[in-house]
Structure 1
Amino acid sequence: MTATRLEARSRPSSQTPSTTSTSTLPPDNRSLNSSTHHDEVERQIIYEARQADALELYAEMVKPSAQLLGMTSHSPSQPSPSTTSAPVTPVTPSPSSNAPSPRIQSIHDGALPALRTSLMLGKYSDLTIIHKQRTWQAHKVIVCSKSPVLEAMIEGLEALEGPILDISQYGSSAAAECLLDYIYTSGYPEPRGDITPESILNLHVQIFILASTFQVHGLQDYAAERFQHDLISLVTEHELFFNLVRRVYKGTTHENPGLRLVVVEMAIAEMQNMLADEGVKWAFLRLTSDVTEFQTEIYEGLMKGMAVKVMPVQPVLCESCGPMDESERGFVVVTCERCKQDRQVMIG
């Protein structure tokens, strides 16, 4: 009886170490809770977006300081966000460096491509954007941080069926894709497929108009720069330039003059050549007559940019000898209309 009772009492004590051993396994061997995993990914995407904005706005002002570079301390149980190229999986923090150059480079090599990858793959998306036949799985925190207009539209979706934003009424699908590319990467790629100078420049115009509509001011400037570069590099026919002027003034306003300034500057620079060709001259005059705002802004540009030089008129007595010096004097012989006599007149 005694042996039996001792054996019975020993069983619970023999199981206790096993339970304790299981609870003390390394944390890495335990599966992450799904909600915790999702929260960590969301924090990381926010972190990547803020780093991309910091690079765009303050790259020249970054100091070798952990605080300015957005690095904060985390406990071992909460891995800090990483700037590696995989933004959708939690990673173990690596030792930070105080040198600014590698940190800035990591934003180029990690955050921007990674954010675009998250748009393309649609991982952890909480927003669907539709433009006609195109669909993108986006992220509210990134889209709303770039456009106050899109932010207001997205907030209005909360009370409806779901986070589905349809922007089919705004521009083309190609321009909408470039808009999202810029929101995620601060740029957009060259057009693909069968392209011409006209199609490339028209796309820049569409992107600029879309950026103006949604108040993505950085994209306005970027599209205007791309438009100017391709206008100078690709356009060799005045007819194409005139068609672009009509499109620019039809789709833009005084409040967003980026593209207008480009075509006005080009017109002033090419005016002498355009007026020298009779056919081009009349086409240009018809254009300025039809698009009166373009004509007015050319005049304004000429008045602001053209310096008026007053050249002194020097007396010339003999075409072979040329203008006279200030100390020289000469005489010309003229005939009086009344008496018909020759008279000498001194000049100089």
Structure 2
Amino acid sequence: MANVQQLQDTLEAQAPLIDALKKAFQNSKHSDLIIRCADNRWDVHKLIVCSQSPVLAKACEGAFKEAEEGLITLHEDDPWVVEAMLEFIYTLDFDDSYSDIAETPPIVFTVNLHMAADKFDIPGLRKLTALKFQAQALAEWKTAGFAEAAALVFNAGVAVEESLREIVVSIATKNAKQLLSQDEVGRCFHAVASATPALAVALWQRQVEGQTEDDAKVKESKRQGYKCPVPGCGAIKQTIDKDGINMCTYCGFVGRGWVSV
């Protein structure tokens, strides 16, 4: 799986083309489609936008009102998320500072953008936000933003990739002592986990899986030792006197020849 650095290297190789598209995004010249969200308006190009999003392409086709007027109005979306999405469509990346403008924790903004990528069917943006989410989760797990993002991830259903939920559970399990403590961070995460059944269940399942794995390791360690040489017996002693005669308490064998297992 590619990481953020690999994607950035690819972008650098495509810099001349991306620079041209970025200029097109910033200039309404030759635009033939308007996208509106709240008080924001973007003059964009159908060829570029529709090639990246089948959802927007469908809205521009056939007898839809948007096709006739050359206008798409997004009533339910965050305008800063929409702008970041459109920037990605033109440049294959987005500015991380949008979260500051939107007054939203970076990791929460990334999840919202990830869900927008699902809504508008933009696989590349979905993949990039998943990668950025992983990096942000590792850096922000001690913040209230991580708890808020965890709730979003587990309440969004198929709108987010399963990998995001796995990241939350893995980090939360690794840092359970602090995230379930009585300090501010712990109280915040505990409140979110209590109010988000899917998250609570996932954490409980991971704990059970971990305990089962530990029990299996203990059981296996107890089996390590020396096996009785009598065919069909199979009894194991953890320690034996290699220079003396050992007795099998299971079959009654007395002698040497115990096999290390």
* TM bucket normalised to smaller: 0.5 to 0.7
Corresponding residue of 2:222? 312
Flag structure 1 segments of 5+ consecutive residues without an equivalent: 1-55, 60-103, 315-323, 330-348
Corresponding residue of 1:327? 241
Corresponding residue of 2:75? 168
More helix by share: 2
* Residues in 2 aligned to 1:278 and 1:192: alpha-carbon distance in whole angstroms: 32
Q: Which residue identity lines up with residue 114 of structure 1 in the other structure?
A: A
Q: CA RMSD in A?
A: 3.5
Give the C-alpha shift of residue 272 in structure 1: 4.1
Describe how 1:1-348 pairs up with structure 2 within 5 A.
108-155=14-61, 156-157=63-64, 161-170=68-77, 172-191=78-97, 194=100, 199-237=105-143, 239-250=144-155, 252-254=156-158, 256-257=160-161, 258-275=163-180, 277-278=181-182, 286-301=191-206, 307=213, 308-309=216-217, 310=219, 311-312=221-222, 325-327=239-241
Q: TM-score, normalised by structure 2?
A: 0.68
* Residues in 2 aligned to 1:193 and 1:247: alpha-carbon distance in whole angstroms: 16
Q: TM-score, normalised by structure 1?
A: 0.52
1:312 counterpart SS class: helix
Distance verdict in 2 for CA 1:167–1:195, change over 3 Å? closer
Maintained 8 Å contact 2:111/2:133: yes
Give the C-alpha shift of residue 204 in structure 1: 0.7
* Residues in 2 aligned to 1:303 and 1:114: alpha-carbon distance in whole angstroms: 53
Q: Which residue identity lines up with residue 157 of structure 2 in the other structure?
A: T
Q: Deviations over 1:192-216 (max 9, x none)?
A: 5957995212211211111111111
* Residues in 2 aligned to 1:289 and 1:192: alpha-carbon distance in whole angstroms: 30
2:132 counterpart SS class: helix
Give the C-alpha shift of residue 326 in structure 1: 2.7
Q: Deviations over 1:291-336 (max 9, x none)?
A: 121123334555677743123299xxxxxxxxx943399xxxxxxx
Give the C-alpha shift of residue 219 in structure 1: 0.8
Distance verdict in 2 for CA 1:303–1:140, change over 3 Å? farther
Flag structure 2 segments of 5+ consecutive residues without an equivalent: 1-6, 225-237, 245-261
Give the C-alpha shift of residue 244 in structure 1: 2.4
Maintained 8 Å contact 2:99/2:106: no
Structure with the greater alpha carbon radius of gyration: 1
What is the percentage of aligned positions where both structures have the same residue? 23
Q: Deviations over 1:213-262 (max 9, x none)?
A: 1111221111121122122223433x443232223333x21463343232
Distance verdict in 2 for CA 1:159–1:267, change over 3 Å? closer
* Residues in 2 aligned to 1:125 and 1:245: alpha-carbon distance in whole angstroms: 39
* Residues in 1 aligned to 2:124 and 2:51: alpha-carbon distance in whole angstroms: 12
2:130 counterpart SS class: helix
Q: Which residue identity lines up with residue 70 of structure 2 in the other structure?
A: P
Paired residues in the alignment total 214
Maintained 8 Å contact 1:197/1:235: no
Q: Deviations over 1:263-297 (max 9, x none)?
A: 1221122124445x356767655543421211233
